[in-house]
Structure 1
Amino acid sequence: MDDAAKASRQSAIEEAAFALLTERGFEATSMLAVAKAARASNETLYRWYGDKVGLFGALVARNAAEVARGLEGPLDQVLIALLTMLTGPRAVALNRAAAADASGALGEALAKSGRETVLPRLEALLGDQAELLLRLVIGDWQIRRATGAMAQPDAETIAARVAEGVALWHRLRD
């Protein structure tokens, strides 16, 4: 299998895994169920990902790569893209999976691929004030989404939240 075909196959497997993770949660999603949903062999999943934690670690890395691509452009657009991703269904499913993983491996993968990737990029743009800005913009929205205490915000609500957080950040810095 050439690289393009393998990448396409992995993408299909990971899409199926995201769908099952969102629908069933981490504990109820098996490698066999993912293989069936993706029309792949169970052996392929184990060969490529190692185990269920490895598969979901790959999902975290994929989501983080999408976030990294969104970290270009004007600050408000970067923050809108970031908050949209963090409150979106994939991030919610991954956070719920990490919370359900007793080994802590998914939580560690989320930290390494997410925060430890995003924060240094923002620090390069904003210096030591990057974390404060993230706290003002994200607040408790991510945890409220993961716990089901908040519906997914629409684009207008996210843009307003970012504008409010950036304005507050500017006031605090002055």
Structure 2
Amino acid sequence: MPTAAFDIATAPPDAAPEFTQRQQDVLAHALALLVEGGEKALTTAGLARTANCSKESLYKWFGDRDGLLAAVVAFQASQVQFPSDAGATADAGTFRKHLIAFVKTQQTVLFGETSLALNRLSIANSGSGQNRLGHLLVARGKNMIGTRARTLLEAGRRKGLLKFDDPDEAYQVLYGLAIGETHIRLLLGGTPTDREKDLDTLAQTAVDRFYRLFGV
């Protein structure tokens, strides 16, 4: 497992960084600081104290503060799980199960309080001209998940399990079916309905509808 600093400038958009268990624990503390107190609360000194680690370790693992913020966003986005191409396309039933699992984890992450808080914080800073968090949420969150999701869909197409011309369009349809307006409503302070709390059914329904459009 890598221990070098996480470099957002050189990491490809579909890269899911691997963190050691200790690094994951530290990033979980960093997420809590960020959500509770905003960007100003995320300092190396404060994180070192909260996570009971040295500032030297933080610099070794994540580089400067921008690198730490990038790692935090990438860590949160990595909670959306993807199967390997080989596992996802073993057969039609397996691929469909993996697609449902992906949709459910995406819903779990995006509808969760941590992601909602990060997005609200970014929106609050959107007029400042220095919204680093917003940039990172797009580059290391939305774009990373979208790139890997399109790769998954294209693997299904190559296997003859899906049919579509434009992978971007296909993913946008899947995203709309899976996330819909629920994410916006939750961002605005709404509470999930009983139906929206049943992510198993929501994910299954989204994929069923997706297959009506793009299934073979």
- Please say whether Structure 1 and Structure 2 have the same fold, judged by a TM-score greater than 0.5: yes
Structure 1 gaps, min length 5? none
1:26–1:100 CA contact under 8 A, matched in 2? no
Match of 1:135 among 156, 176, 200: 176
Q: 1:104 to 1:68 in 2, by over 3 A?
A: farther
Q: Which residue of 2 aligns with 1:164?
A: 205
Aligned residue for 1:66, secondary structure, equals coil
Contact kept, 8 Å, 1:84 with 1:158, in 2: the verdict is yes
What is the CA RMSD across the aligned residues, in angstroms?
3.5
Unaligned runs of 5+ in 2: 4-18, 89-94, 157-161
The 5-angstrom pairing of residues 1-174 of structure 1 reads: 3=3, 7-46=20-59, 48-69=61-82, 74=97, 75-101=99-125, 102=128, 103-119=130-146, 120-124=150-154, 125=156, 127=164, 128=166, 129-151=170-192, 157-171=198-212
In the TM superposition, what is the alpha-carbon distance from 1:57 to its structure 2 partner? 1.2
User: Going by fraction, where is helix more abundant, 1 or 2?
Assistant: 1
Deviation sequence 1:6-40 (CA, Å, 0-9, x none): 93442232121122223333344433222210112
1:51-92, CA deviations, whole angstroms, 9 ceiling, x for partnerless residues?
444322101112223324468552222211211121123322
List structure 1 segments (4+ residues) > 4 angstroms apart after TM superposition.
Answer: 70-73, 151-156, 170-174
Relative distance call for 1:56 and 1:144 in structure 2 (3 A) is farther
Larger radius of gyration: 2
Q: State the shift of 1:138 in Å.
A: 0.4
Equivalent-residue separation in structure 2 for 1:153 and 1:52 (angstroms): 40
The change in CA–CA distance for 1:27 and 1:70 in structure 2 (over 3 A counts) is farther
SS of structure 2 residue aligned to 1:85:
helix
Aligned residues: 172
Code of the aligned partner of 2:204: A
Contact persistence 2:177–2:209 (CA under 8 A) = yes
TM-score w.r.t. the length of structure 2 is 0.62
After TM superposition, give the deviation of residue 133 of structure 1 in Å. 1.5
